[in-house]
Structure formats: structure tokens, C-alpha cells
Structure 1
Amino acid sequence: MDVIGLGETMILFTPETKGLMRYAKYFSMKIAGAETNTLIGLSRLGHQTGWISRVGKDEFGSSMLSSIRGESIDVSQVKMDPAASTGIFFKEIVNEKAVRVNYYRKNSAASRLNHLDIKEDYIASAKYLYITGITPALSDSCLEAIFQAITYAKKHHVQVVFDPNIRKKLWSEEQAREVIVKIAQQSDIIFPGVSEGRFLFQVEDYREIAQRFLELGARLVVVKLGAGGAFYSMSNESDTVPAFKIDRVVDPVGAGDGFAAGVLSGLLDGLSVKEAISRGCAVGAIVTTVDGDIEGLPDRELLENFIHSNQEDVNR
């Protein structure tokens, strides 16, 4: 197994018309989750991935498992929970500048994930363990599951990859800072954004943010800069990697998850750190050109064509 991730994926409903959701009559249904977004991105690029989670023993849970299994992700470690429901949320697109998201995830099946759901031999089979700061915020048992997974990863020399992905609505700021820093101290690779550096360390400069995470013990820190690309730092090397040019951003949601998939894909393929991060920038850029979290994630051919055409535009 190349990459294993754990966390909650939910069913997303979006009205087929813009405006206040109270007037919506028809909705489209999709799946959305930070960890599975990244795993799907990796799978489409030819890597072996696995997902650990819980879904409700309901039609939404069945639909989700079918969809994710269909993306060639191993779901053998996903439990169907008969005592809880699959989480859902609604994206209300009032207009192009006003998008509201309403979550119905409290006491969801995924929030009941616990340390007993984490199997040591499964974690040991991976090269990377991918986690985000969303999962530990869902419940105390999810927090225990995260640290159990990290413990097994450390024991078996599996690299821990961490995207802080801070969601302030899920927990107190004090607890968020404490837990995120604790996870970062046990992570090998970290993908923060500038806003997360500001929240955790009260600093704005991306170089200083990277340095703070390195001081916590990370081997590699990659600070996402959006249209500015990304800045990476290690003990003996640091540099800025430029973003890829796109004509118009259609939907920025999921770009960070695609970025993580691209970087990990590059590292798995043996690219240099800088080349891997450039691949991450390319995948993230492609994702923003399509509506939806996973719909724009490219396969190898699409990715190579995008990079080639972008390079041609630069050289003109």
C-alpha cells in the first residue's frame, strides 16, 4: 500500500439552482471528504491507497462505499455502523460571491471512529499515513484513533503526512492549537496554509511558518500559497515553487487536497522534492477549473497534458 488515510467523508447535496436554498426543488448528490479527496487523487495517478473510517449502515453509506471502491481505493477497513448515520452537508450557492455550507455531522458514524478501528498490520503496510486536522476535532474517540494510527506508523517507520486543515467550528481554539501542535510534533511532512500558521504561531511570513513547523520536528514543510505556488523547507534546502497559470477559477474547494495528492505522487515516483511540489501545484490548479471536490482530479494523461501546455504558454 502506498498511502493510507483516515477520516470522515460525507454526502454533499447542492441545489441545482442558485439562490436561497429554501426555494430549491432539486439537488445533486456527491461525496466529499478531505482525506478521500487526496486518496482519490493518488489513485487516479496510479498509486495504491486505503481508507479507514465508519459510515452509517444506510443508503448513503452504501452509496459512498460503492463510489470510493469504484475509485480503486481499498475500503476493507471501513465499518458500516448500524447505530449511527452517515454525515451529510449542504452547499448553498446564493450567488457567485456568497456560498454557505451547512453540516449535519454531529454523532455521525465517522465521529464514532475509535482506536480499536485502527489495525497495526494495516498501518504497517503503507509507505505514508495521511491525516488532517479535521478528524481529531470530530470527537474524543476520533482523537484517540488518530494518535493510535500515528503510534503504529512510528513503530513501523511509516511516514506521517499531516495537513492541519483547521476547522474552528468543530472545537475550541485552545484545544485546536494544542492538538494540532501535538500532531505536528509527530509528523514527517506537513502541508500548512498561511492562515494556519497565523492561527498556530501568530506569524504571517511563510518562511517563518515553515521554520516553526521544522522546529517541532518535521522533516519537510510545504506552505501552500495559493496563486503564489508553494514554499518548502527542509534542514538543508528551501525554495519557492511557482503556481501553474489557469484562465479562471471555477471552484477552489478541494485544491489543497489535490495538491497533497500531487506532492505525494511525486515523492512515490522518486521525483526530487521540488519536482514533487510542482506536480502538487499542477494538480491543485487543475482541480480549481472544475466544479466539485473530486471531479477535476486528473489521471496521468490529463496531468501530463496540462503541464506540457502550461510550459508551452510560458515559453511563448
Structure 2
Amino acid sequence: MSEFLTIGEPIALFGSEEVDKSLKDARHFQKFLAGAEVNVAVGVSRLGHSSEYITQVGKDPFGEFIIDQLHENQIGTDYISESADFWTAFQLKDRVSEGDPSIFYFRKGSAAAHFDQSVLDKIDFSEVKMAHLSGIFPAISPEAQKAFRYLISLLEKNKVRTTFDPNLRPQLWASQAEMVATINGLASHAEIVLPGINEG
């Protein structure tokens, strides 16, 4: 049982150790745990609150790495399922001395994109005080969006206060119109919405 929970896609991030070298030319990378929602869970845990992370990873080295990293950060993994059929997402990110770094994702068709919403029926909401949601997870696949909407219904049923970060990722949506309509609809279920200035 935890005070806080969130759902998302965790990613194994390979960050270049070489400054201002393109991803094509970089040879040395360091591996990190990444993902917008998991970053929030880490912050909540560091503030001394119990936290649970909901997702699906592959039965692969990246999935094992992610679960190990969550344990190191005292984040609960009771609602993480593992898939032997789909892989865990990962990404490459270069290191720059100025401007925004380049990022390349390997996430399409990932284990999280095939999330089985039956996991959500196992959640114990009795001590959950806050849930954090983001617009990324419902963008990765129709299955993920269906599960996301089901989780919202469970949070509302259990009267859990919810925050929502639009976290817009236009490249994950079929069109801007679909992104705007879907994100606005999902945001309307949250008590607190946290857009960036441009997202707003």
C-alpha cells in the first residue's frame, strides 16, 4: 500500500558521455532510468512518501535494470507486469554544450504499449492520497490509452486526488487535432493540471 501512484512507460536511457558529438559518432554512453512519470515517483520517494509505479516491461535486461533502479529508489513494483513477447523501450541522447540534445527512441510496440489493464484491478487504493498522470502513456498505443482511461475511472471511484501533466509528445500522435482533443479530455478529469507555458 502506498500514498502515491503513477502509471507510465519507463525507459532505459543511454546518454552520451562525449560532448557535442552526434549520436552517430558517439561511442561511449552511460545507462540511466528515464521516463517522465518515473521521475515524479523518484521525487516523491525522496521526499519520504511511499510510492508505486504501474507499468509493463519486457522480460529482458532493460526490464530487469528498470525494476532494480525502482527498488534502489524505494519505489514499489507490485503493479509491474513482465512480458516475454514485447521488449522494454530504450532511447539514445547526445550531450551538448548548448541548446537541446538530440534524442532517438526505440519504443514503438514496446511492452508498455501492450499494457494489460487487468493489473489495475489489483490496486489497493486504501492508502493512496495522490495519483500523477501524464499525457505520454495514453499516446503510446490504443491499449495504453484504454488502460489509462480505466485507471482514471478507478481513481475517481476511490476519490483519489489526481494531477495531470500534458507532457505533449506530438510525434506519438496521429495528428495535432487528435492530440489536443484527447489531452484536453483527459486533463478534465484531474483536479490539478500542470502544463508548461507552450503546452498551455
Band of TM-score, shorter chain: over 0.9
Query: Which of 170, 189, 194 is residue 192 of structure 2 equivalent to?
Result: 189
More helix per residue: 1 or 2?
A: 1
Match of 1:146 in 2: 148
Residue-pair matches, total: 197
RMSD of aligned alpha carbons: 1.4
Distance 1:163 1:124, change over 3 A: farther
* Shift in CA distance, 52/91, structure 1 to aligned 2, threshold 3 Å: same
Compared CA separation, residues 182 and 120, structure 1 to 2 (3 A): farther
The 1:185–1:95 alpha-carbon spacing in structure 2 relative to 1, beyond 3 Å, is: same
Cα distance in 1, alignment partners of residues 13 and 168 from structure 2: 20
State the percentage of identical aligned residues: 31
Higher relative contact order (CA 8 A, sep 6+): 2
Q: Is the 8 A contact 1:88 1:105 kept in 2?
A: yes
Shift of 1:23: 2.3
Equivalent in the alignment of 2:83? 81
Give the structure with the larger strand fraction: 2
The aligned residue for residue 90 of structure 1 is 92
Query: Which has the higher Rg, Structure 1 or Structure 2?
Result: 1
Match for residue 41 of structure 1?
43
Letter in 2 for 1:65: I
Equivalent position SS for 1:161: strand
Conservation of the 8 A alpha-carbon contact between 1:132 and 1:164: yes
Q: Which amino acid aligns with 1:148?
A: Y
Which sections of structure 2, spanning at least 5 residues, go unmatched?
Answer: none
State whether residues 23 and 92 of structure 2, in contact with CA within 8 Å, keep that contact through their aligned partners in structure 1: no
Q: Distance in 1 between matches of 2:180 and 2:100?
A: 29
Q: Following the alignment from structure 1 to structure 2, what is the Cα–Cα distance between the partners of residues 181 and 83?
A: 33
The runs of at least 4 consecutive aligned structure 1 residues that moved more than 4 Å come to none
Distance 1:71 1:98, change over 3 A: closer
Deviation at 1:2, TM superposition (A): 1.4
Q: Distance in 2 between matches of 1:109 and 1:118?
A: 16
The residue type paired with residue 91 of structure 2 is F
Give the secondary-structure state (helix, strand or coil) at the position aligned to 2:24. helix
In the alignment, is the contact (CA less than 8 A) between 1:113 and 1:141 conserved in 2? yes
The structure-2 alpha-carbon separation of the partners of 1:123 and 1:147, relative to structure 1 and needing over 3 Å to count, comes to farther
Aligned to 1:26: 28
Q: TM-score scaled to structure 2, two decimals?
A: 0.93
How do 1:212-223 and structure 2 match up within 5 A?
A: none
Secondary structure of the structure 2 residue equivalent to 1:196: coil
